[in-house]
Structures are given as structure tokens and as C-alpha cells.
Structure 1
């Protein structure tokens, strides 16, 4: 199978967004999917990503926060294109991975550098 190589940044971003959307059903197990083009959750009708979708994506990517950020960035590209009147700053803040206020940040054990996120 031959893949077309994008020749512009816009084409590369579009391809990344398309692939992110295509993988979403698998990553979320078909639950708490976004209703498009409104971008609210089909299951709980909250703005997407809803809390269950955030938890599922965080579990799916586990410790690889960089890949999670890149993946969610692809979804954000799609949401921005489908919600042209929405405030992009609000979309960014609601979709980008970050510490969840239900998680506690614990100090590292002796001899360990960094922070540990504890899940409820």
C-alpha cells in the first residue's frame, strides 16, 4: 500500500487530524465519542472531551504525555475547523491534556526527581 506524502504543512496537519479522528473510536472503546460538528459527548452530552473521555485517553497513552498531546492536537485541529465561531483559546484549554483536579500531586520519594501523579 502506497501512502501519499504531504507536500505542505497544511496537508501534513490535515493528514494528522484525519488519522487522529480515525483512531478515536478504538482509543475510546466506542464510548464517550464526540458528536460532530457540535463537539459534545454522545453519551453524557458534556463538552467534549468529557471527563470519561479524558480518563480513557490518559489511560490509553499511559505515561507518554508527549504522544497524548500530539494526538489531542490533531483532534483540536478538527474541532477548530468544524467550530469556526468558537473561541480557539477555550477549545485549546478544554482539550489539551493537563493535571486533573481530581488527581493529587505527591512529592517524589527520596532520591527520585520529578513529580508523581496519583489517581483516585
Structure 2
């Protein structure tokens, strides 16, 4: 089973453009709720569709978003950050804007200086 070394990617490049703008948690590149459709695609590629790895990667973001998005229901935040992980991306999750943002470059890292998760 292949493992993705997502923690080895630099915090710059095309993927960093689709990082979160905080505390509103919108994508800095397209303005959609983060993670946007492009970032989801990038993360699925980066994690090679390993749902557990993907959820482990997103959990610290989810924790921060739960604190910072005070006007959003916790169930909605959880769905937005983790609900899409085990579904094909052509099946929208509750947090996806209509139409999405169309696609993106291969992931190279995450904007915002998020620490690497231990394996």
C-alpha cells in the first residue's frame, strides 16, 4: 500500500494558493469555503485517496475552524472538513458551493504554516 509523504511538501507553490484565509475559512485563491473543491482534489491526490491519512491531515484544521467559525453549526463544520473524505469528489458535500471552482494543480503543501502530523 503506497504512503503519501504530504508532510515533506514545501509551504509554497500552486497548492498553497488554495490555502485557508483565517478566521473566515475561505480559500485565498477562489474565495469558496475552505477546503474548496480544488484543494479537496489536491489533497485526495496527495493522500492517494487514503481516507484515514486525509482525515488525520484535516483534523487539526477542523479543530481550529470549530473555534474560529463561531456562527456555524459544529455538525456543518465537521461535514465541510471531513464529510467529503470518503466520497468521490463528483458527489458534492454540504460545504461545497454550487459549481465548485473547477480544478487545480498538483498539491505541493498547505498555506498557513500548519505543522506536520506525526505518522
TM-score of the superposed pair, with normalisation by structure 1: 0.59
Aligned: 1:80 with 2:84 = no
Structure with the greater alpha carbon radius of gyration: 1
| Alignment gaps of 5+ in structure 1 | 1-22, 104-120
Give CA-to-partner distance per residue, 1:46-103, whole Å, 9 cap, x none. 1111000000011111042211111111110011111123211111111111313527
Please name the residue that 2:86 is paired with. 98
- Going by fraction, where is helix more abundant, 1 or 2? 1
- Alpha-carbon RMSD: 2.4
How many residue pairs get matched?
A: 81
Relative contact order: is structure 1 or structure 2 higher (C-alpha 8 Å, sep ≥ 6)?
A: 2
| Alignment gaps of 5+ in structure 2 | 1-8, 92-119
